[in-house]
A and B are shown apart, each in its own frame.
Chain A
Amino acid sequence: SQTIHQWPATLVQPVGSPLSLECTVEGTSNPNLYWYRQAAGRGLQLLFYSVGIGQISSEVPQNLSASRPQDRQFILSSKKLLLSDSGFYLCAGTVIGETQYFGPGTRLLVL
C-alpha cells in the first residue's frame, strides 16, 4: 500500500520569506498527487493536483506554486509568504480506482 511522507511537520516563517514543502510517495507508481490547505476550523481546500511528472493544475489563484520533478515527488513553493498562507498543508495521493490517502501534513505559521 502507498505511504505518503511530508516534511517538515511544523514550520514557522516570517512574512516575505520563501517556502518549500516536500511530499514523497512510497509503494506505488504514477499516482495522482494533490496539495490541500486546511485553515483552522475550516474544510480542506484543494490547491494543486498533478497527474504526472511536470503536469500541474491549479484550483485557485494564489501566492503558491507546485512542481512535480519526479513521479513520486510533489513540491509546494512560494517566493514570498503572506500571513494568509498560514494553515495545515496536506499532500494526498491516489491511484486510479482507489481513494485518496493523506500524508501527515505540515503545519505552517507565518508571522
Chain B
Amino acid sequence: RKEVEQDPGPFNVPEGATVAFNCTYSNSASQSFFWYRQDCRKEPKLLMSVYSSGNEDGRFTAQLNRASQYISLLIRDSKLSDSATYLCVVRLFSGGYNKLIFGAGTRLAVHP
C-alpha cells in the first residue's frame, strides 16, 4: 500500500465549478499535512497546510480527519488558473529527521 494515496484524475471541470480532492495516508504517526500545487514542468509549491479543525484560504478549504487518516481539498468557483496537479503531503519524524511523503498527485483541468 502506498504511504499517501490520491486519485490521479484528471478532473475536468468547467469554470465556476466546485471540485474536491481526497487523499489517504497509511502512517498514523504522521504529524503534519499539506497540499502542494505543481504546474506542468515546474516545481511543487506550497498551497496550504491542513489542520484538524479545518482551514480555509480564499476559495480553498482543507480538512483533516486523523481517525480515518483522510485529507481533503475543496476548491470553490474554479478558475482556469487552478489547472495544475495537486499533491497531498504528510510529514512524519522518521530516521532522525522530518520526512515529507508525497502523493503522486491529482490532476485538475479547468475549462472555459
B46 on the A face (CB < 8 A): yes
CB distance from A26 to the nearest CB of B (A): 15
- Expressed in whole angstroms, the Cα–Cα distance for A41 and B95 within the complex equals 28
A57 on the B face (CB < 8 A): yes
Number of A-B contacts (CB under 8 A): 39
CB distance from B23 to the nearest CB of A (A): 12
Number of interface residues of B (CB under 8 A): 19
Majority DSSP secondary structure for residues of A touching B? strand
A105 touches B105 (CB 8 A): no
Cβ 8 A contact of A90, one of B34, B43, B98? B43
- Expressed in whole angstroms, the Cα–Cα distance for A43 and B36 within the complex equals 12
Identify the B interface with A (CB < 8 A).
Answer: 4, 34, 41-46, 49, 87, 95, 97-100, 102-105
